């Protein structure tokens, strides 16, 4: 084929297969395998086609013999016959219904088979005219929720999750550096540099004496599908995935001012310009300028802030939420960094829905320099993940104890991600939870309950003396599922009373808690944990997304439990009442 599909495009095809199989009622493990493979391919640091050309497809977690053959066919021919066969069995519009927050595979199949509905528009008409309530298990409330879900899908922002935009931006910069030897500096800018959870257009900035070879090389990068604008200082392209990327080239001596300006945010920049005016200066993307017209060139960002009598402000804080006042008064926190973390408190293994053994996950954590790892496989009622019965949970404990005899510099702790059921009870009785080192309680099902119900579920977990952490509290999936109706303010206030920690789930599809609630948790004195929710060794690399979200919420190391050394973490867990 002329051009290999991007990782995102391949992942979308695999998720489409998973959706069709789900609608057909296929084995849940088979469905999960395609979704997990899609996630792993999307997170690859290089193009899937590179692994294919090197004969290394099977080295990617979740890619077995059958799937590697399908990917080989796709990358050789541009087609996947298995997907084409499946698409003959289920109309494309039925699969598209799965994008609606309120429509699962059973609902999509039901409306298709019983009412002949094969598109989102037909589903909307059926809901508006009351036809859906004729179906078993559906009523007027279901119709209203489906209509609300269709509206949310229709009006969904064109912004894309940072987890999709960031790898594209970094790959483009890497390609530029490899193509042009005269680059002085390169950086991502805009909301991507501020680590906002969703991104509109990607902004890239380069310092070079001669912009022409930079622009020429940029337009010829492999991922460029279209050149929108070609200029001497700015070029805009569209990638194969439809993402617009703007590249600006500035002289090295103007780098600091340009980087500050194009990082934003708009509100932060306006506040800085006003501050400059009060000091007899004007501030633009090019330079600071005195009233007599003389420019003050800033080769580094720190010089821009120093000229305005401020210390450098980290990009994650530049949202005009009090960071300028805090900087002026010397109150900026020493923000948490990846290097501050001592371990991970939420990780899965092949005992439930992980792709690696406990030993493999432990060795991957050790290789990162972690001192500890908590294995928190799923509990029993979340059947789709192969959750653990009490008997299997105790068998797992024995394996963890056996493995711990191997290391003197590292420790595995035994935990669980226990499901918070629809009625607010937990999967295991308290006496079982008391046997564990760490308990993460999460909601995965019934996320569309009303505000009172789902808040009551979360509160029941937060009030349980054996629960240590509330996992991904809002339940959202960026770009795919809206957050639940849970009242996070009430949950955080209750957590402040009980001492339960809130998770910042670092997976870029979640980033949950978000930055606003991270800051609120800190105000209330609620402990935080930054976890990858790791299902494979590669997932540990996602930690930077969680740390960035914590930084956006003004979190310092002292706010984060897994910045504690092992001894102090175990002491905290014992105080919580679940430490064994």
Give me the tens of pLDDT residue by residue for the chain, a chain 580 residues long.
Answer: 457 888 889 999 999 999 999 999 988 888 888 988 888 887 776 789 988 999 999 988 889 999 999 999 999 999 999 999 999 999 999 999 998 877 889 999 999 999 999 999 999 999 999 999 989 988 888 888 898 888 767 655 568 899 999 999 999 999 999 999 999 999 999 999 999 999 988 999 999 999 999 999 999 999 999 999 999 999 999 998 888 999 999 999 999 999 999 999 998 999 999 999 999 999 999 999 999 999 999 999 999 999 999 999 999 999 999 999 999 999 999 999 999 999 999 999 999 999 999 999 999 999 999 999 999 999 998 877 789 999 999 999 999 999 999 999 999 999 999 999 999 999 999 999 999 999 999 999 999 899 999 999 999 999 999 999 999 999 999 987 889 999 999 999 999 999 999 999 999 999 999 999 999 999 999 999 999 999 999 999 999 999 999 999 999 999 999 999 999 999 999 998 744 3
Q: What is the pLDDT of residue 1?
A: 47
Q: What is the pLDDT of residue 5?
A: 86
Cβ neighbours for 280, distance < 8 A, ≥ 6 positions apart? 290, 291
Residue 541's Cβ-side half-sphere holds a number of Cα atoms within 13 Å equal to: 9
- Give residue 150's Cα distance to chain centre: 23
Number of residues that this document lists for the chain = 580
CA atoms of 255 and 231, how far apart (whole Å): 19
Yes or no: say if 94 and 108 are a contact pair by the CB < 8 Å rule.
yes
Question: Would residue 432 be called left, alpha or beta, if left means φ above 0 and alpha means ψ between -120 and 50 degrees?
Answer: alpha
Q: Are strands 469-470 and 202-207 parallel, antiparallel or unpaired?
A: unpaired
Backbone angles phi, psi at 453, to 5 degrees: -65, -50
Token reading at 160: 């894309």
> What single-letter DSSP state applies at residue 58?
G
Residues facing residue 134 across a β-bridge:
none
Reduced to 3 states (helix: H, G, I; strand: E, B; else coil), residue 231 is coil
Distances (CA, A) of 326 to 260, 300, 322, 329, 482: 18, 21, 6, 5, 33
CA atoms of 117 and 126, how far apart (whole Å): 8
Q: What is the pLDDT of residue 363?
A: 98
Please give the full DSSP string across 83-94, using - where no structure is assigned: HHHHHHHS-HHH
Question: Would residue 525 be called left, alpha or beta, if left means φ above 0 and alpha means ψ between -120 and 50 degrees?
Answer: left
Yes or no: say if 168 and 241 are a contact pair by the CB < 8 Å rule.
yes
> What single-letter DSSP state applies at residue 378?
B
Yes or no: say if 495 and 434 are a contact pair by the CB < 8 Å rule.
no
Token reading at 167: 């790898």
Domains along the chain with CATH numbers: 7-154 (1.10.150.110), 160-250 (3.30.460.10), 265-328 (3.30.210.10), 338-576 (3.20.20.140)
Handedness of CA 27, 429, 359, 570 (dihedral sign): positive
Q: What is the pLDDT of residue 209?
A: 96
Strand order in the sheet with 244-250: 185-189, 202-207, 244-250, 234-239, 224-230
Q: What is the pLDDT of residue 50?
A: 87
Identify which of 351, 305, 310 has the alpha carbon closest to the alpha carbon of residue 327.
310
CA atoms of 102 and 143, how far apart (whole Å): 9
Cβ neighbours for 32, distance < 8 A, ≥ 6 positions apart? 18, 353, 384, 385
Reduced to 3 states (helix: H, G, I; strand: E, B; else coil), residue 372 is strand
Distances (CA, A) of 19 to 123, 259, 481: 18, 43, 15
Identify which of 540, 553, 168 has the alpha carbon closest to the alpha carbon of residue 370.
540
Q: Are strands 411-419 and 244-250 parallel, antiparallel or unpaired?
A: unpaired
Asked if residue 265 has a cis previous peptide bond (ω within 30° of 0), the answer is yes
Q: Are strands 160-161 and 198-199 parallel, antiparallel or unpaired?
A: antiparallel
């Amino acid at each position: 084929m002329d051009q290999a599909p991007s990782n995102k495009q391949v992942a979308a095809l695999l998720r489409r297969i998973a959706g069709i199989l789900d609608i057909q009622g296929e084995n849940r493990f088979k469905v999960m395998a395609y979704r997990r493979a899609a996630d792993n391919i999307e997170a690859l640091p290089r193009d899937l086609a590179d692994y294919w050309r090197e004969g290394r497809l099977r080295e990617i977690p979740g890619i077995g013999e059958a799937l590697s053959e399908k990917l080989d066919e796709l990358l050789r021919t541009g087609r996947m016959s298995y997907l084409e066969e499946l698409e003959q069995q289920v109309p494309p519009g039925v699969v598209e219904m799965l994008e609606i927050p309120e429509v699962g595979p059973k609902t999509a199949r039901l409306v298709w088979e019983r009412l002949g509905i094969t598109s989102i528009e037909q589903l909307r008409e059926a809901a508006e005219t009351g036809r859906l309530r004729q179906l078993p298990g559906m009523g007027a409330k279901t119709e209203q929720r489906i209509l609300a879900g269709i509206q949310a899908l229709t009006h969904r922002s064109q912004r894309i999750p940072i987890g999709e935009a960031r790898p594209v931006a970094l790959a483009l910069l890497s390609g530029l550096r490899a193509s042009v030897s005269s680059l002085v500096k390169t950086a991502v800018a805009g909301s991507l540099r501020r680590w906002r959870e969703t991104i509109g257009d990607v902004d890239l900035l380069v310092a070079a004496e001669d912009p022409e070879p930079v622009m020429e090389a940029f337009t010829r990068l492999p991922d460029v599908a279209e050149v929108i604008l070609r200029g001497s200082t700015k070029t805009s392209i569209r990638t194969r995935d439809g993402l617009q990327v703007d590249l600006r080239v500035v002289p090295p001596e103007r780098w600091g001012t340009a980087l500050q300006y194009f990082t934003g945010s708009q509100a932060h920049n306006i506040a800085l310009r006003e501050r400059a005016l009060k000091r007899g200066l004007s501030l633009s993307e090019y330079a600071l300028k005195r009233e007599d017209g003389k420019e003050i060139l800033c080769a580094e960002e720190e010089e821009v802030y120093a000229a305005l009598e401020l210390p450098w402000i980290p990009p994650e804080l530049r949202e005009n939420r009090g960071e300028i006042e805090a900087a002026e008064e010397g109150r900026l926190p020493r923000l948490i960094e990846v290097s501050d973390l001592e371990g991970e408190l939420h990780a899965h293994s092949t005992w439930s829905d992980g792709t690696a053994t406990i030993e493999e996950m432990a060795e991957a954590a050790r290789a990162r320099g972690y001192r500890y790892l908590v294995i928190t496989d799923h509990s029993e009622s979340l059947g789709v993940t192969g959750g653990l019965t009490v008997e299997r949970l105790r068998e797992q404990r024995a394996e963890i104890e056996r493995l711990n005899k191997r290391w003197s510099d590292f420790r595995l702790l035994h935990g669980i991600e226990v499901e918070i059921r629809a009625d607010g009870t937990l999967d295991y009785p308290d006496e079982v939870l008391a046997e564990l080192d760490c308990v993460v309680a999460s909601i995965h099902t019934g996320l569309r309950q009303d505000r009172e119900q789902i808040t009551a579920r979360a509160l029941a977990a937060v009030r349980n003396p054996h629960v240590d952490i509330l996992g991904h509290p809002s339940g959202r999936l960026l770009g795919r599922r809206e957050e639940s109706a849970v009242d996070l303010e009430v949950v955080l206030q209750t957590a402040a009373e009980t001492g339960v920690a809130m998770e910042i789930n670092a997976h870029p599809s979640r980033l949950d808690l978000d930055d606003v609630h991270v800051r609120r948790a800190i105000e209330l004195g609620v402990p935080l944990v930054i976890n990858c929710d790791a299902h494979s060794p590669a997932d540990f690399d996602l930690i930077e997304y969680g740390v960035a979200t914590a930084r956006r919420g003004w979190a310092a190391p002292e706010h984060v439990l897994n910045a504690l050394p092992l001894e102090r973490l175990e002491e905290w867990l014992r105080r919580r009442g679940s430490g064994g």
